[in-house]
Chains A and B, each alone.
Chain A
């Protein structure tokens, strides 16, 4: 009996490593992170007017964040307490997830922006499961729903794998600036190396980008060197946390206006996406 109890304990301990146990052990983490999210989200909404029609982010927005000191610095306990739960819900209103709003934020989109369903991927270029999704499932989704105009797909950065992930995310946005995000997306995942081995550092990102035809490398290099899209990547990360994302890849499938969002966790196969997208189309 003792042995069986020990096995049970071991099993529970192992399962707990996935998240719940640790999260419950450090509830203050969740509170702090969400408070940061709310604070910065408010500023993002204020700063949305700084984006132009092409989805480019003006440096003014970055300055705005830097001035307020809120881009990634933790809030003081006093500041954190000022946010009520009603403010928290304001972060995840459907408007924030509408295709139009996501495009305004500078996020890359593929497919018809007016398609009835929007699939939002929260990914990291260093995550092996994201690479699995990009190689195995995304091509089928693309052929079945995106090319046929039934859905569009938006990419959001959820960088949890270290500094190189941030670099890769910035590089992808620099490619997006020239309308080449989805080529960069494919090339990066096809050439993915071991996590934090240096394959996603600035130099290698430049080499990787040089494989993409149609990219102005001079423009790309200066963009990546200036960390132009750092604040956009930070904001994506914050949005992901506010939406309850805890790993990559994670997906939100919603109506085009951002309503009725449904979360899908992990590099699921095509039938899982099919069931949710078809459901959303009929709703």
Chain B
């Protein structure tokens, strides 16, 4: 079998006596959506932060495309091809939707130390950025400052920015949060097709979306992965039902 795109081995992180990440091993394979679920406080955010490079694990290894990511900061990991969206939309609020995506396009081109040429008339930035907005259905709102977009539109913009980076793996942190049933359904359809571009590690509370999308699911409880398996396996796992799913399954 091919080497996994992203591989966590025995990752540990303590905050005082709290074992936020307690020996987590997990992998993300080419072409799949791997959902990470778990109750609030299970340590999902801490885990995401370690993968992205904003929290350093106490021990354990994170490999991305076979390379140890220790010592690389967030920006460096993104340049290696790890594209992410945030649990709470994180955008440049004064920039228009288009310019937010243009920032990602210029970052991908690796050329931010250019001081003179105006970006507004630079087709190599506006063209791909507009194409990404069209993919997420936000092209009509291209000129609107991010701060004036609705909550749902901001979520779409986050996805467009991640797409513009052309990453080798996506890390989506609750992309459905606050979208409402209609929005969730649309995004579910969109993510379904996206897995063929790059595999997705999906942290999500919306179980309908998770069950519809995931090739595999890992369940995190108190910093530990208590089960990993297909949707059917997870739904029938007694320990998972007790710890997390309850009536939902």
Specify whether A and B are partners: no
Residues of B within 8 A of A (CB): none
